[in-house]
Each structure stands twice: as structure tokens, then as C-alpha cells.
Amino acid sequence: MYYIRSESSFDSAHFLKGYIGKCSNLHGHRWRVVVELAAERLSEEEQTRGMVLDFGDLKMLLKEMCDNLDHCLIYESGSLKEKTVEALTEENFRLVEVPFRPTAENFAHYFYEEVKAAGFPVHRVEVYETPSNYAAYE
């Protein structure tokens, strides 16, 4: 099996509604996303011959995905009152609503599915919430 990896990062705020502890409060992270692709055979197409995939293609996709989540408040659908969302929007804060609790585990699954939907042979995704704590999905 052949493997290639690329990584990107984004800075954002989130909170965990219903959590008992510090993470129930609004706080931020520098999220680091590592994507690993796998293939049993290398490409035979002229441009990508001898590769799993062009690193540039993977880097571009990953950068676009991370840029979409950079410098915003990521919140789970239904976790904020409508008035709160309206007030934050009126203040021109960038909000990104997701249909899942914004945990490292759920982000790993989210990135995995997005990379897979782009047609890449994704094997594993790791999402680091801190330099020493990460969740993975494969």
C-alpha cells in the first residue's frame, strides 16, 4: 500500500453545548488537519505517473476546506438562540453552523467525508485540537 499525507490548519472558536466543564464556554483552537490518502497502485496517467495523487491537488482541497473554517465561530445547529445568532451577525462576526457537535472527533469524520466526496482515496484523517491531543477517523 502507498500512502501520502498533507496537512493544513485553521483558527476558530467553538463551544460544546451541554458539556460540563471548561469547553462549554466559548474558546478557540488552532486546529491542525492531517489527511492521509492510500492506494494499492500508483497512477499510470502521464501527469501523475508514479504517484498516489498530485500533492498539489490534495493541498489545494485541504486549504480550501480549512480556509472555509478559519477565523470564525463554529457552532452546532440549535446550540445558540436565534437572537444570539442575529446579534453576532449584526456585529459582522463570521459564523459557521454545522450539523454536529464541533468536537475533534466529528471534525475528523467531516474532513474524511469531504475528501472522499472530492474523489480522493482517503485513508485516515487526524484533527489536532492542541499540539498533543487529536482525534482520528479512518
Active site amino acids: 23, 71, 129
Task: Return the SS3 of 66.
Answer: helix
The phi-psi region of residue 64 (left if phi > 0; otherwise alpha if psi is between -120 and 50; otherwise beta) is: alpha
User: Among residues 44, 73, 52, which one has the least CA distance to residue 1?
Assistant: 52
Residue 75 burial class via C-beta count within 10 angstroms: exposed 0-12, middle 13-18, buried 19 and up: buried
In angstroms, the Cα distances linking 29 to 4, 22, 45, 109, 127 are 26, 13, 40, 18, 11
